[in-house]
């Protein structure tokens, strides 16, 4: 669900997720590669991704968003720390609240 949402966003070169949820706990690991040549471009794509995650009705509020986003050549790495309004890696529900997005 994350992968399909991410790949629909312009500027995403590839996206992979590995998730495991069992017995009320679990983890999510992600690898998101961006088509960007500057940090500003990478931040803009990341913000578009966060908005897409927030808008997706298939993603649950408690699921974590990626820790970082990297360009194809690995020269640029961005995270939500590049944005105002987030303290640490947000979950989908926090992104929805931040951008005032109701999924659907």
Position 25 scores a pLDDT of 66
Residue 91 CB neighbours (<10 A) = 18
CATH number for position 82: 3.30.300
Range of the domain at 27: 2-99
Tokens of 17: 């997720």
Position 104 scores a pLDDT of 82
Position 71 scores a pLDDT of 97
Residue 99 has pLDDT above 80, yes or no: yes
Interval 15-68: pLDDT, tens: 998 876 666 666 677 899 999 999 999 999 999 999 999 999 999 999 889 999
In a domain, 10, yes or no: yes
Residue 69 parent element (H or E): strand 69-71
Q: Please name which of 50, 48, 45 lies closest in space to residue 33, comparing C-alpha atoms.
A: 45
In a domain, 63, yes or no: yes
In a domain, 104, yes or no: no
pTM attached to this predicted model: 0.89
Residue 72 has pLDDT above 70, yes or no: yes
């Amino acid at each position: 669900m994350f992968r399909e949402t991410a790949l629909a966003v312009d500027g995403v070169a590839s996206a992979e997720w590995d998730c495991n949820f069992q017995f009320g706990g679990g983890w999510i690991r992600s690898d998101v590669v961006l088509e960007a040549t500057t940090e500003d471009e990478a931040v803009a794509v990341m913000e578009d991704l966060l908005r897409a995650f927030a808008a997706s009705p298939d993603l649950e509020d408690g699921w974590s968003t990626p820790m970082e986003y990297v360009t194809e050549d690995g020269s640029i790495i961005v995270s939500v720390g590049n944005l105002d309004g987030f303290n640490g890696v947000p979950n989908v529900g926090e992104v929805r609240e931040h951008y005032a997005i109701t999924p659907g």
